[in-house]
């Protein structure tokens, strides 16, 4: 299964004003994992993307394709 890099993870975390520790706690991931994902040391499979998206209150695809503040079809 593909593990695409989470291009906008750090941006979304900053947008939500969360620390790596807070995001790790909210997702059940470790701070080290959050850091490695943000620095694109490796990508994330769908279950991890869903955990992160849920904690960040976004759709999973936004971690890959949509930076914070960019208008989406749900805005308006």
pLDDT in tens, 55-73: 999 999 999 888 888 765 5
- Does any domain span residue 58? yes
- The mean pLDDT of the chain is 90
Category of 40 on φ-ψ map: left (φ > 0), alpha (ψ -120 to 50) or beta: left
The domain tally of the chain equals: 1
- Does any domain span residue 54? yes
Q: List the domain range (segments joined by +) for residue 57.
A: 9-65
In order, the DSSP letters of 22-61 are: HHHHHHT--HHHHHHHHTTSS---HHHHHHHHHHHTS-TT
The CATH number covering residue 59 comes to 1.10.260.40
The structure's pTM equals 0.85
């Amino acid at each position: 299964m593909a593990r695409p890099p989470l291009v906008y993870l750090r941006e979304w975390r900053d947008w939500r004003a969360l620390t790596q520790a807070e995001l790790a706690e909210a997702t059940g991931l470790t701070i080290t994992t959050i850091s490695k994902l943000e620095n694109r040391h490796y990508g994330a499979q769908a279950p991890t993307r869903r955990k992160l998206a849920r904690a960040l209150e976004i759709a999973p695809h936004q971690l890959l394709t949509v930076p914070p503040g960019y208008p989406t079809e749900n805005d308006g």
